[in-house]
Structure formats: structure tokens, C-alpha cells
Structure 1
Amino acid sequence: MKTLFSTFMLSLFMLLGNIQNTIAQETEKQNYVVLTKKVQQLKPILLAAKELSKEDGKNFGNFEIIVCGKEIGNLTDLETMKPHLKEAKKVGANIVACGFSLKKFNVDPKKLPKKVEIIDNGILHNLKLQQKGYLSLGL
């Protein structure tokens, strides 16, 4: 009788553990980060974000686009950035500028659109997001 009871309890705990894992997987958000050196890549990146948002549904989490490198000054072109910022807002993506690149290539952070966040080091930020489980792509 003890063996039967022990087997029943063990089976019950295993079943509850599987149910708990399934629920956790269903409610876990999928986060993404893309590191790019070219502002002209924002359009295809945002198209990808839009598609992933549709596919992931309610499990779509954060989507960060980090811009680094010598072309970072292109972020200050407000006419070019306007449609990208609009699409980013619609999709729920964040466009982030690498502060290290801004300094290195003498770009005035005050000339960036207000919606563009500045972080100290884009590569480090990318690596830290990967540590948190973000899926990452470097272009």
C-alpha cells in the first residue's frame, strides 16, 4: 500500500511539474536585440520586428535596436529617422544609440531625436541583454 501511495504521489508531483513548466513557457516573453552599424538597416530590422510581433503574439517582449559605429551620425537626420521612429513605436521597438560611438565620431547627442535612448557602450549593452536571454543578431 505504501508503494502504491508513493507511486501515486510521485506521479502527481511530476504531472504538476510538467503543467507548471508548460504554463511558464507559454507566459514567458521573447525578447530580441539587434546590433547594427547602418541606419539604412532600420527599415528591414523593423519589418522583422513587426513579423516577430505577429508570430509571437502576446509572448512578444522587448525589441531593442542598438546603433553603433562610424555612421551613427545618420541618426541626427530627422527626416530619415521620422518614419523609423514611427514604425518603432507602432511595433514596440526601441532604437538605442551607443554613447561610445557618439563620442568617438563627434556626434552631438542633443541632435538625436528625443525618442532615441543613449547607452554608454552598445556592445556591452548587447552582451548584457544576451545574458538576460535576449535573442541577438549583429549586422
Structure 2
Amino acid sequence: FKAGSKVLDVGTGGGFPGIPLAILFPDTQFHLVDSIGKKIKVVTEVAAALGLKNVKASHLRAEQVNDKFDFVVSRAVTRLIDFYPWIKGKFNKDSKNAIANGILYLKGGDLAEEIAESRLKAELYPLSAYFSEEFFDTKYVVYIPQ
């Protein structure tokens, strides 16, 4: 992410993937949201303990967020057909990064049916190309440009 980018992490849980990304990209603003207050409390404490000034954590559902972002990230919160309506319309119109603004969704399994069902134009990036452990054989980053 280029400096000044804004990223929404939907269903962050314990802060993944938002917290590691915030560490890697200190000049990018991350808004981590989850509908479970206890999880957001932990995320807030972790971000403070790590001194992450680029993290905002909110006890909200994605649909309640009233802001625009360059990217929305998430880790297998739900099927894409259900996820997309939550975040549709939350993207900045102008792209400043090497790829167009969009969704970066961590997901596993056979995704052909799910992607077809969603009718979204998706690109799959297998994590097995970067990690040799068997666990990653069926894991992907699903990129959906906006």
C-alpha cells in the first residue's frame, strides 16, 4: 500500500489481517471493525501496546462504516455473495496504488462455485506460491477490483 492509503478490515476478530498489515505499512491508515465488542477491545489494546498510530478499531458492522477506502481486507468472514453488499460503495474512486482499489479477501477451499455465485470479477492468488507448508495448498488471496 502506498503512503496515505486507507484500508478497512472487516470482521477483524483478534486483529488479523489488519494488525500485521499496519505493522508492515506504517504510512497506511487501517480501520478495523468487528461486531463483537470484546474482540475490538483486545484489538485496541494490542494496537496501543505496539504503538500503532495508524490503527483505528471500532465496534461496528461493516454496513455501519461511513467512510471511503482504497482497499477492504477480510479473512473468510462469509461467502462473497453475502460479503459484497456490506462493503459495496465504500471505495475511493481514484486509485493510487499499483493495483486498482478493491477487495483483498483471504479464503480457502474450492472457490470456483462461490465466485461464480457472487458474479464478481475475481482474481485468485494462491498462497502456496509463497509458502511451502501443506496448510497453504488450498488458501488464496481473492482480489476483486472495484
Instruction: Report the TM-score, using the length of structure 2 for normalisation.
Output: 0.37
Between Structure 1 and Structure 2, whose CA radius of gyration is higher?
1
Structure 1 or 2: more helix by fraction: 1
Question: Which structure features the higher share of strand residues?
Answer: 2
